[in-house]
Amino acid sequence: MSNLSTTTTVTTAFAADAAPAPSLDGNAASSMPSSYGRPDATPGAASAAPALRSARLSSLDTLESEAIHIIREVVAEFEKPALLFSGGKDSVVMLHLATKAFWPGKVPFPVLHVDTGHNFPEVIDFRDRTVERLGLKLVVGSVQDFIDSGELAERADGTRNPLQTVPLLDAIQRNKFDAVFGGGRRDEDKARAKERILSLRDEFGQWDPRNQRPELWNLYNGRHTVGQHVRAFPISNWTELDVWRYIERENIELPGLYYAHDREVFARDGMWRAVGEVSQPREQEEVITKTVRYRTVGDMSCTGAVESAAATVRDVVIEVAASTITERGATRADDRISEAAMEDRKKDGYF
């Protein structure tokens, strides 16, 4: 059981990405000086601020504050949270929000990555650099290890995304994580549209969509018993466009493959697949070089690229605003398997 009202003091925590963010109205705030205790050290900070009463927070400001509130609640009420970090844009944004939630302290929990063994090398590199920069502990669950030990079998289609569930649940159990932050968004998929911000998982990691706790006001009920854990989704209410606008506003670094680059690709299942160690063209599949980018970065064996000339974050924001196809529809083979592909994976314990 989570505790009754406990006194929580964050004594560990970490590196704000410290990208100077635009303020609410563009000019109300100044950079925090090290002499934080003397507000007069930043003359003009106070006088330059127009009254907030009349100003509206932008939708990004509102979503950001909601996410920070959720992250702080989970840290206050759970013994051992962890944040699922894949190096993908949603988890990068979530980690950025965590740095803001605990500034000037460090992020007070480790990050967890389920490595399919088919990840893009540049994403693994980005993951390691980020963890190093922020001084975080990284816990890795390996799909390859489970395949090697015979606990998991390679699928006929070679896709490893659905195989992540077992190593994920194993890592949660082994490390006794009682809350795991995920970057899932309700706009991604119709099953995720019914997900709670705090979502209870049973002893088998399963999601029971028909028996969810009602979520009222901003009061999150995270009570659970031994063996159960909670998934927390701080960016539930963000859309793909919100995520990109926030990445632009906060100047957040992402793995390079989110931006247009030349890459050797071949066409399969109506998507462009990268040529790589685990992603080889079949005989009749022609390899060509195209200017592409990725809208999601998952397993190389099931994540496709889209043709795009969007080389900067601004270009991507405009492209996403103009897009007529959802990110999962465009780039995830595993979500095309059936109408309820995501629902089935979630019920088994997937994020």
Site for other proteins in 45-74 (CB under 8 A): 45-49, 51-53, 56-66, 68-69, 72-73
Selected from 170, 264, 326, 337, the binder of other proteins by CB under 8 A is 326
Of 92 and 114, the one with the shorter C-beta distance to other proteins is 92
Residues 136-165 that bind other proteins (CB under 8 A): none
* Token duo for residue 12: 């560990």
Of 148 and 269, the one with the shorter C-beta distance to other proteins is 269
CB of 190 to other proteins, least distance (A): 4
CB of 347 to other proteins, least distance (A): 10
CB of 157 to other proteins, least distance (A): 20
- With b for 16 or more beta-carbon neighbours within 10 A and e for fewer, the 22-58 pattern comes to eebbeeebbeeeeeeeeeeebeebeeebeeeeeeeee
Of 66 and 90, the one with the shorter C-beta distance to other proteins is 66
In whole angstroms, what is the distance from residue 18 CA to residue 170 CA? Answer: 34
* Token duo for residue 243: 């995520």
* Token duo for residue 177: 């994580």
Kindly state the number of chain residues that form the binding site for other proteins, as judged by CB under 8 A.
116
- With b for 16 or more beta-carbon neighbours within 10 A and e for fewer, the 82-111 pattern comes to bbbbbbbbbbbbbbbbbbbbbbebbbbbbb
CB of 249 to other proteins, least distance (A): 9
Of 175 and 323, the one with the shorter C-beta distance to other proteins is 323
Selected from 83, 143, 205, 213, the binder of other proteins by CB under 8 A is 213
C-alpha distances out from residue 95 to 98, 115, 117, 171, Å: 5, 18, 23, 19
CB of 148 to other proteins, least distance (A): 34
Selected from 36, 122, 148, 287, the binder of other proteins by CB under 8 A is 36
Cis peptide bond upstream of 104, omega within 30: yes
CB of 242 to other proteins, least distance (A): 7
Of 173 and 225, the one with the shorter C-beta distance to other proteins is 225
**By the rule CB under 8 A, 330 interacts with other proteins:** yes
Residues 167-196 that bind other proteins (CB under 8 A): 186-187, 189-191, 193-194
Selected from 82, 123, 148, 322, the binder of other proteins by CB under 8 A is 322
CB of 194 to other proteins, least distance (A): 5
Contact 288, 264 (CB under 8 A): yes
Selected from 89, 127, 224, 229, the binder of other proteins by CB under 8 A is 224
Residues 256-275 that bind other proteins (CB under 8 A): 267, 270-272
Selected from 43, 121, 209, 227, the binder of other proteins by CB under 8 A is 209
In whole angstroms, what is the distance from residue 151 CA to residue 157 CA? Answer: 18
Contact 42, 33 (CB under 8 A): yes
In whole angstroms, what is the distance from residue 89 CA to residue 316 CA? Answer: 12
Of 34 and 284, the one with the shorter C-beta distance to other proteins is 34
Q: Which of 331, 321, 342 is nearest to 184 (CA)?
A: 342
Angle at 240 between CA 237 and CA 244, to 5 degrees: 110
Q: Which stretch binds other proteins (CB under 8 A): 36-44, 85-93, 151-159, 162-170?
A: 36-44
Contact 67, 94 (CB under 8 A): yes
CB of 323 to other proteins, least distance (A): 6
**By the rule CB under 8 A, 216 interacts with other proteins:** yes
Of 146 and 258, the one with the shorter C-beta distance to other proteins is 258
Q: Which of 139, 230, 134, 138 is nearest to 179 (CA)?
A: 230
Residues 68-127 that bind other proteins (CB under 8 A): 68-69, 72-73, 75-76, 99-106
Contact 152, 336 (CB under 8 A): no
